[in-house]
Amino acid sequence: MSAVIRRLVTVVDETRREMGKALATPTRKAAAIAVIENPCAGRYVENLDELIGIGEELGAILGGMAVEALGIQPSRAEGYGKAAIVGENGEWEHAAAILHPKLGAPLRKAVEKGAALVPSAKKMGGPGSRIDVPLGHKDAAFVRSHFDAMEVGLPDAPRANEILVAVVVTDSGRPLPRVGGLKKEEIKGEDGLR
């Protein structure tokens, strides 16, 4: 069964100046958010395959929306992350079922490659709950300039029987990175780490 989607929202966050300093190239992060019905709300469901399938579907939809919102070729995407907020009639594990088994593969397709683990966060909450979507470089998790986060949320979601699912894609790292570590120009992009 496919996801019953109530809302789709896109947010693009573009930073042009930081602490008075203009950036040579603005940094941009795009969040694509879906609010869906939770088919497992209100009771204990042992087998979570339905949510796992919804995760796969949302990986493609939200990954595509985020890249499109940035207006870039998929190969220009540099960072990504994912998160879910489960409404109060659901279970913590429902977030895991959506995020971890199958959402990653179609998201990686949307950004071309994606050798690195997709960083994630999850929680339960009511309408207006916010969540910080962790971000990392898509091909090498140790790239220090791309460790970041984007806070997302909607005033009316998730309702008790809903789940809010967010995917963030970036075309850059933090605005003025200067804390050392592995640089994006140095990565091999083979093992997902370096």
**Range 80-113 burial, b when 16+ CB lie within 10 A, else e:** bbbbbbbbebbbeebbbbbbebbbbebbbebbee
* HSE, side-chain direction, 13 A CA sphere, residue 148: 25
Contacts of 130 (CB under 8 A, 6+ apart): 151, 152, 153
Structure tokens of 48?
């979570």
- Asked if 155 touches another protein (CB under 8 A), the answer is no
- Asked if 79 touches another protein (CB under 8 A), the answer is no
Q: Of the two residues 64 and 119, which places its CB atom closer to another protein in the complex? A: 119
- Asked if 91 touches another protein (CB under 8 A), the answer is yes
- Asked if 31 touches another protein (CB under 8 A), the answer is no
DSSP secondary structure of 75-99:
GG--EEEEEEEE-TTS-HHHHHHHH
The Cα 125–Cα 85 span in angstroms is 6
- Asked if 53 touches another protein (CB under 8 A), the answer is no
Binding another protein (rule: CB under 8 A), the pick from 14, 186, 190, 191 is 191
Binding another protein (rule: CB under 8 A), the pick from 99, 107, 157, 167 is 99
CB of 9 to another protein, least distance (A): 19
Number of residues that bind another protein (CB under 8 A): 45
Binding another protein (rule: CB under 8 A), the pick from 141, 143, 164, 167 is 141
C-alpha angle 119-26-65 in degrees, rounded to nearest 5: 50
Structure tokens of 190?
């083979």
- Asked if 156 touches another protein (CB under 8 A), the answer is no
Q: Of the two residues 64 and 167, which places its CB atom closer to another protein in the complex? A: 167
Task: Give the number of residues written for the chain.
Answer: 194
Q: Which residues bind another protein (CB under 8 A)?
A: 18-21, 44, 46, 48, 52, 83, 91-93, 96-97, 99-101, 117, 119-123, 130-132, 134, 141-142, 144, 147-149, 151, 174-181, 191-193
